[in-house]
Amino acid sequence: MQSNKLSDDVEGNPDRVDPFYQQVKKNSQEDQTRGLLSDDITPIPFQYKGDRGPCSDGWVLYRNTCYLIMNVYGTWELSKSLCNDFGAHLMVVNNEEELEFISRVVQKRTDYWIGLKRDKIGQWSWVNGDNYHSNPQFWDENQPAYWGMESCSYLKGSDTVHRKLMHDADCHRQLYHICERKLEKGMR
């Protein structure tokens, strides 16, 4: 029986995430060559692991979805691209339980891009095609703010709130991000 409960962290066991970081380093070097990354991007070691189940090393399992916490700074578009490189997409917040889980897994004071973006006519849409209005919205108070170029969504880090809430920001801001991919039926 598999548990969704968080367990030991990866610290002290770098072999668990080494293949993942080799791929991130390779992607980052390629993106640096293409001019997509700034020189000051530094990966931070993955801090937690849950029940990995059939998920790849470095990924965390929750229900039938694998999550990858990418502790690499990037714009929203770069973050989306990095997730795509792993056969995933930026996280889509489907329900309160999922948001609670992710809030426990990620670093408390850190902001993370998620897969919600506003188009040129002001409509929000999820990267996986889900209808924005069919999913609950977990916007923080006074959000979305709609200031200028704030067209991308992230989960806001906090010391005082037990779960992260959504904020909007300029898509060129440099943040960490969360990738997700559903388990294939044969892997469950």
Residue 27 has a pLDDT of 53
CA-based nearest residue to 143, from 164, 165, 128, 121: 165
| Dihedrals phi, psi of 177, to nearest 5 degrees | -155, 165
**Residue 65 structure tokens:** 């979805």
The residue written with tokens 């880090």 in the block is: 157
How are beta strands 175-182 and 112-118 bridged, if at all?
parallel
Closest to 27 (Cα-Cα) out of 88, 79, 89: 79
For 80-131, how does the pLDDT look when each residue is reduced to its tens digit (9 = 90+)? 999 999 999 999 999 999 999 998 888 888 999 999 999 887 889 999 998 8
Domains and CATH numbers, the chain: 14-187 (3.10.100.10)
pLDDT of 160 reads: 64
- CA proximity to 55, closest of 145, 184, 143: 184
Sites in the chain below the pLDDT cut of 70: 1-52, 134, 136, 160-162, 185-188
pTM equals 0.72
